Amino acid sequence: MKKINQKNRKGVATLPTVIMIGGIIIELAIAGVVVGYAFTESGSGMRLSAEALFTARAGADDAIYKVIRGGYQSSYNLIVSGTPETPSERKAEITIEKDPVDLEGRFGTCNVIWGCYFRVRSLGSAASRRRKIESVLSVDPATREIRTSYIKEIPV
Range with the poorest average pLDDT among 88-92, 118-122, 140-144: 140-144
More confident residue, 7 or 72: 72
Q: How does residue 21 score in pLDDT terms, banded at 50, 70 and 90? A: very high
- What confidence score (pLDDT) does residue 101 get? 66
Distance separating alpha carbons of residues 118 and 147, to the nearest angstrom: 10
C-alpha torsion angle, residues 50, 53, 59, 64 (rounded to 10): -130
* Higher-confidence position of 7 and 49: 49
pLDDT of residue 106: 57
**Interatomic CA distance for residues 60 and 106, integer angstroms:** 21
In which domain, by residue range, is 150 found? Answer: 2-154
Quote the number of domains for the chain: 1
Whether 125 and 48 have beta carbons less than 8 Å apart is answered as: no
Q: What are the tens digits of pLDDT across the range 33-71?
A: 998 888 777 777 788 888 899 999 999 999 989 888 877
What CA–CA distance (Å, rounded) separates 154 from 137?
16
Residue type at 18?
Answer: V
Q: What average pLDDT does this structure show over 112-127?
A: 83
- Has this prediction a pTM greater than 0.75? no
Q: Are strands 116-126 and 75-80 parallel, antiparallel or unpaired?
A: unpaired
Cβ proximity of 75 and 66 under 8 Å: no
Residue 72 banded pLDDT, cuts 50, 70, 90: confident
DSSP alpha helix (H) spans, 70-127: 104-107
Edge-to-edge order in the sheet of strand 116-126? 75-80, 90-98, 116-126, 129-139, 146-154
